[in-house]
Amino acid sequence: MKLYVGNLSFSTTEIAIRNAFSAFGTVDSVSLINDRDSGRSKGFGFIEMNNDQEARAAIAGLNGKQLDERNLRVNEAQLKEDRPARGGFGGKRSGYRW
C-alpha cells in the first residue's frame, strides 16, 4: 500500500521517516518530494509498505503524531489525477506564421 505523509519538516530525512514507519512493519520505499528548482523539500512524501495491515497500523499510529516538531498527516495515497498538459500561453496558436 502506498501512503502519503505530509506536514513534514524541511529537515526531515528519509532515514527518519523509514525509522518511524518501520515500527509498524516493513517499509519497501521512502520518497520525499523536493522542489526541482531549489532542491529543497516540499514537506511531503510517499511510503510504500507491502503489507496492507501494517500500512493501516502505521496510519493509525503516526497520523497526528510529532516528528521533528511537526504533526504528521498520514493517509493512504490517492491516485494522481490526469491534469491537462501545461503549455505556454494556453495552448492556442498565435496569429503569427513561421
Entry pTM: 0.78
Tens place of pLDDT per residue across the chain (98 aa): 999 999 999 999 999 999 999 999 999 999 999 999 998 999 999 999 999 999 999 999 999 999 999 999 999 998 877 666 666 555 555 554 44
Q: Is 83 domain-assigned? A: no
Q: Is 30 domain-assigned? A: yes
Q: Is 54 domain-assigned? A: yes
Count of domains observed in the chain: 1
Nearest-Å Rg of the Cα atoms of the chain is 18
Q: Is 87 domain-assigned? A: no
Q: Is 28 domain-assigned? A: yes
Whole-angstrom Cα distance, residue 47 to residue 42? 15
Whole-angstrom Cα distance, residue 8 to residue 18? 13
Q: Is 11 domain-assigned? A: yes
Q: What CATH number is given to the structural domain containing 9?
A: 3.30.70.330
Expressed in percent and rounded to 5, the helix, strand and coil fractions of the chain are 25, 30, 50
